[in-house]
Structure 1
Amino acid sequence: MEFILLIFSVFAAIVPYFFLILFIWWLDRNEREPFGYVISSLVWGGVGAIFIGIVFSLLLLLPATFIFGNDLADLMGTIIFAPITEEIAKGIIIIILLNSLQFDNATDGFVYGAASGLGFAMTENFLYFSQAIGNVQGWLILVFLRTLFTGVMHMTTSAIFGAIVGYVKYNKSTAKKIFMPIIGLGIGMVIHSIWNITAVAQGTSKEGYPLVIGIIMLMIALAIIFVLFLLSISHEKTIIIKYLTEEAKTGLLPENHINYIANFSQRKRRGWFDSRDRGAYIDAAVHLAFRHDQLFHAGNPKKIEILKADIEKLRTKIREILIKNR
């Protein structure tokens, strides 16, 4: 039975979150991130972030144990060291991907952050599940709680950081580009710490109140960040319509195409564009709109030149596709 539960632990740790990140990626329908980037974030969370989190937690725990003793040091490790080291470790992939032109805005940061958090949760959950295989009932309860709540906590905290990094990527204010991500990281650490505090309190309480409080707070945080994610997607549509309308006035593309490009449900309708080139046309048009918005907000001269060059490349690509489909 233990071997069977060990196998089930692998599936329980990986499958639910893999489908969850697929769903989040699917929701980003205006301009989906390259799936390879999403998988890279997932793998980073499950391997790189886990390794860094463990190593640096231990480095902090050793002197704390020497100074405060085992019990207090263990408590500090759970509610202080783990939130700090794990949130930083999960967020590293966001910084690595930041210079990519594929990383456009808050929506993209949310997706990459969520992927890193879920990757971390996959590995962490497997480690916990595999240690509980001696008791079927205990294993089932652990799988239920960690899958529904602890893993979602990791996703939420990393998504907050990623979304804020994406939001300020092209901001003119250097102060905002520095301090807002730090604030986002801090918010993630606080949420993580509060969740761990409720878990510790639940372990010493005969009542279920600490866990219930933790779940309620986590669900509120998740709901807020998810609503912001949907609002960011809606804002992307506004950007697409605004800047493609401006481009249509210059004659770059037909104005009647804008509705199809800006509305995901309309994109695959027959008759408005050759299906063989439709995907490339939509992709170029959407990126063109995003580059205009990024150029409007950009303050860095080097980034401005890069964006201007990319805008011309995208215009050329759109012209070539339209000439081909006359």
Structure 2
Amino acid sequence: MSTNHPDAVPGPPADPHYGAPGPSRGASNPSWLGQVRATNYHPAPGYSNGPFSGMMPPAPARQGTSAGVLGLVIGGGVLAFFSLFLVLPFLLANTGSTGFIIGFVASLIPLAAVLLAVHVIDRWEPEPRRLLLFAFTWGAAVSIAVTLLIQPFFALMFPYSGEADFQAFMATVQAPVVEEFAKSLGLLLLLLLARKHFDGPVDGVVFAFTVAGGFAFTENILYFGRAIAESSSPGPDLVQMFFLRGVMSPFAHAIFTATTGLIMGLAARRWHGGVSVGAFFVGLIPAMFLHNRWNSMGQGFLVDYLLIQIPIFLLAVSCIFLLRVAENRLTRQRLLEYCAAGWFTITEVNMLATARGRREAIRWANSYHRGPHMKSLVKAATQLAFTRQRILSGRDITAHQADELQQLQHIVALRAAVVG
């Protein structure tokens, strides 16, 4: 960060929607993640070049939760509560109290792996915790309840001739279709009611991993607990089941649902209600297909796992890595446009828009006991960059420009607090 005295920090814009010339429109697309149509390009707001008055602009008042997000969180909590009246008796009936307790504890381990992955993916631009909590409870309770309610009617559609045929149908058709639909309903609600926070493929993957992690957590309780309740040798059977689901495939559900979240996130870049709903149904296709392929592995399980499932996992990791790289480049490009308008220096952009720069900046700030301020500044700068991306995407321009001005004022205050 610049070590200038706070009085040298530029003040708030005199004419908020008059910007200094920014990068050329052709240079405004740093990656495929943040493509901008030329007709949607707006210069970043400018600032007054006069000496700073020393009167620090007040940080913007904390914005209240939007009605859509509030309704989503409250409604999701109510649905999750009532879902437990169906889900808990179902689990206890299949596992018994001992199996349920052991299964619950054992299921925490693969859940921790998925949530750690969510933290790593979401670290650049963290999603609100209340929305992540909604996503988890939707997966762990509501989507399970939806599955339990739908699958009996779905099963009636299949005229099976024997128990083996019926079990094969339930595993390879019913489970992929019903479970992916139930999980992804939560993603659709997030996209429709919290679109400010679900505006790209990384957001879609983060929410999908969280929903799927919750679903797998409850499903693992069932499988682990049933391995104890229905077995004459519960110890070895539990170990075998845990190795299969907790070691070999903790991310299976996450990867299935992430394909839906990815496609919905790409659609969110070009916001339109019909397009987003259409993306929901399109995104279900690869999720159901991958789920079907996993459940269809039989006698040649190990060969399929090594030759198909591991490459799919590695491909998913590669895609997530590329998404993170593209997100970093997008952040840098948008902050460079504020740099051209006078809000940041190029040194500050390099610190705020690169992982290495952030680490060094926070380390420096910690040495002066200003680490929390620097962390807030890093987070605020990232949010500002993505607010600008929403403006350039042509969605809700007026509302996002108002957010932009508040965020710029907040950044000025944070910047002054950091440099002391």
TM range (shorter): 0.7 to 0.9
Q: Deviation of residue 63 (structure 1)?
A: 4.0
Structure-2 change in CA distance of 1:179 and 1:63 (3 Å)? closer
| Matched residue, 1:217 | 308
Matched, 1:296 2:392: yes
Residue of structure 2 in register with 1:159 after alignment: 258
Contact 1:149 1:215 in 2 (8 A): no
**What one-letter code is carried by the residue in structure 2 that aligns with 1:257?**
E
Q: Which residue of 2 is the match for residue 40 of structure 1?
A: 134
Distance 1:172 1:44, change over 3 A: closer
Whether 1:147 aligns to 2:243 is no
TM-fit CA distance, 1:146: 1.6
Give the equivalent residue in structure 2 for 1:68. Answer: 160
Matched, 1:282 2:373: no
Cα distance, 1:174 vs structure 2: 7.5
Alpha-carbon separation, structure 1, partners of 2:224 and 2:296: 21
The alpha carbon displacement at 1:280 in A equals: 2.3
* Equivalent position amino acid for 1:297 in 2: S
Instruction: Tell me the distance in 1 between the aligned counterparts of 2:144 and 2:217.
Output: 10
Q: Which residue of 2 aligns with 1:123?
A: 218
Where do 1:20-59 residues align within 5 Å? 20-59=114-153
Higher relative contact order at CA 8 Å, sep ≥6: structure 1 or structure 2?
2
C-alpha deviation, 1:163, in angstroms? 1.9
Give the partner amino acid of 1:137: P
Displacement after TM superposition at 1:178 (Å): 4.8
Give the aligned partner of residue 196 of structure 1: 295
| CA–CA distance in structure 2, aligned partners of residues 19 and 210 of structure 1 | 23
Cα separation, 1, equivalents of 2:302 and 2:144: 25
Structure 1 counterpart of 2:354, one-letter code: N
Distance change in 2, residues 1:163/1:73 (3 Å):
same
Q: CA deviation at 1:233?
A: 0.9
Shift of 1:10: 1.8
Code of the aligned partner of 2:303 = V
Correspondence for 1:170: 269
More helix by share: 1
Amino acid at match of 1:321: L
Shift of 1:85: 0.9
Distance in 2 (CA, whole Å) between partners of 1:155 and 1:81 is: 18
Distance 1:54 1:190 in 2: 21
Letter in 2 for 1:127: L
TM-score (norm 1): 0.86
Q: Which residue, out of 313, 326, 329, partners 1:238?
A: 329
Distance 1:3 1:19 in 2: 25
- Which amino acid in 2 is paired with 1:242? Q
How far apart are the structure 2 equivalents of 1:23 and 1:317? Answer: 30
Question: What is the Cα deviation at residue 177 of structure 1?
Answer: 4.0
The answer for the alignment partner of 2:317 in structure 1 is 226
Deviation at 1:151, TM superposition (A): 4.0
CA contact (8 A) 1:26 1:32 kept: no
Q: Which amino acid aligns with 1:290?
A: F
Which sections of structure 1, spanning at least 5 residues, go unmatched?
203-208
Q: Deviation digits for residues 233-291 of structure 1, max 9, x if unmatched?
A: 11111111111111012122333211221123332121599434222222221111112
Amino acid corresponding to residue 264 of structure 2 in structure 1: V
Structure number with greater Rg is: 2
1:254-273 equivalences under 5 Å are 254-267=345-358, 268-271=362-365
Secondary structure of the corresponding residue to residue 251 of structure 2? helix
8 Å Cα contact 1:30/1:262 also seen in 2:
no
- Rounded Cα–Cα distance in structure 1 between residues aligned with 2:399 and 2:162: 54
**Which residue number corresponds to residue 312 of structure 1?**
405
Q: CA deviation at 1:34?
A: 2.6
For residues 2-37 of structure 1, the C-alpha deviation after alignment (integer angstroms, 9 at most, x for no partner) is: 987654322221222224312331343321223333
Write the letter of the residue equivalent to 1:140. V
Partners of 1:250 and 1:283 in 2: how far apart?
A: 20
Query: Against the structure 1 CA distance between its residues 246 and 228, is the aligned structure 2 distance closer, same or farther, given a 3 Å change threshold?
Result: same
TM superposition shift of 1:175:
7.5
Query: Quick one: structure 1 residues 24 and 294, their matched pair in 2 at CA, closer, same or farther if it must change by over 3 Å?
Result: same
Identical-pair percentage: 23
Alignment partners' CA distance in 2, 1:74 and 1:141:
21
Distance in 2, Cα, partners of 1:118 & 1:212: 26
- What amino acid is the match of 1:132? A
Q: Tell whether the 8 Å contact from 1:105 to 1:166 is kept in structure 2 after alignment.
A: yes
Q: Deviations over 1:306-326 (max 9, x none)?
A: 322222221222233335556
2:126 match: secondary structure? coil
Contact 1:38 1:112 in 2 (8 A): yes
